Amino acid sequence: MKVLIIGANGKIGQKLAKKLKSSNHHPVAMVRKKGQVSQFETMNIDTVVADLESEFEHAYDGINAVVFTAGSGGHTGPDKTHLVDRLGAKKAIDLAVKNNMDQFIMVSALGADYSPEKWPESMKHYYEAKADADKHLMQTSLNYTILKPGKLTDEDGSNNILIGDEIDQTNREIPRTDVATVIEKSIGNASTYKKSLEVLTGNTPIDQAINSL
């Protein structure tokens, strides 16, 4: 598949682009600034410059699947979170419907579907945005895959995960490398279609865990 990575300049997006370049898929890195293009060009990865806060339908030209791993970042306020994590995500979903994408993979967050009283007050705007975007996606006819990783770390990936509708585990973390691998293995994999999945570090190899869904 030709896969558009929205948020390719982020930590997960960069790892995913590299993985897809070495796979049988064709990654297209969507970046917001021209200055972010060169890092992907050096790896012979196609890029498209587009901004979630503007019009970006041109980024979908020739695309088969979309991965949304963009985010406003932890240092921005509610306004930016609303623009990127809610409105940007919903616009990306609507464009995927309009352009008949084969699959839409949303990188959400563990807890996005919890009851609001469980959300930390300081992060409430973030979870509200994620929850709204996830619900919007689930109401479409797309083959969606919603991944809700726990606390993201920069540790080396173990390639072992726990994945499912609801997970009860003491360890609530997962390396970004493993999240990128889960995304890669979910692309074109019908076992992940129409599912909202929590994903954390576990004891099952990623291929086996995903194919057992």
Percent of the chain exceeding pLDDT 70 equals 97
Q: Which of 126, 127, 144, 193 is catalytic?
A: 126
**So what's the pLDDT on residue 162?**
95
Those residues whose C-beta lies under 8 Å from the C-beta of residue 1, and which sit 6 or more positions away, are: 25, 26, 64, 65, 102, 103, 187, 188
Structure tokens belonging to residue 146: 């919603």
Q: 2-211 belongs to which homologous superfamily?
A: NAD(P)-binding Rossmann-like Domain (3.40.50.720)
- DSSP structural state of residue 6: E
Domain boundaries, the chain: 2-211
Q: What is the largest CA-CA distance in the chain?
A: 46
Reported as a single tens digit per residue, the pLDDT across 43-91 is 999 999 999 999 999 999 999 999 999 987 656 677 888 898 899 999 9
Distance of CA 83 to the CA centre of its chain: 17
pLDDT confidence of residue 73: 62
26 pLDDT band (50/70/90 cuts)? very high
Q: In the structure encoding, which two tokens stand for residue 97, read together?
A: 């419907």
pLDDT at 76 (0 to 100): 65
- Residue 213, classed as helix, strand or coil, is coil
Q: Is there a catalytic annotation at residue 193?
A: no
- For 79-136, the pLDDT digits (tens) are 888 898 899 999 999 999 999 999 999 999 998 888 877 787 878 888 899 999 999 9
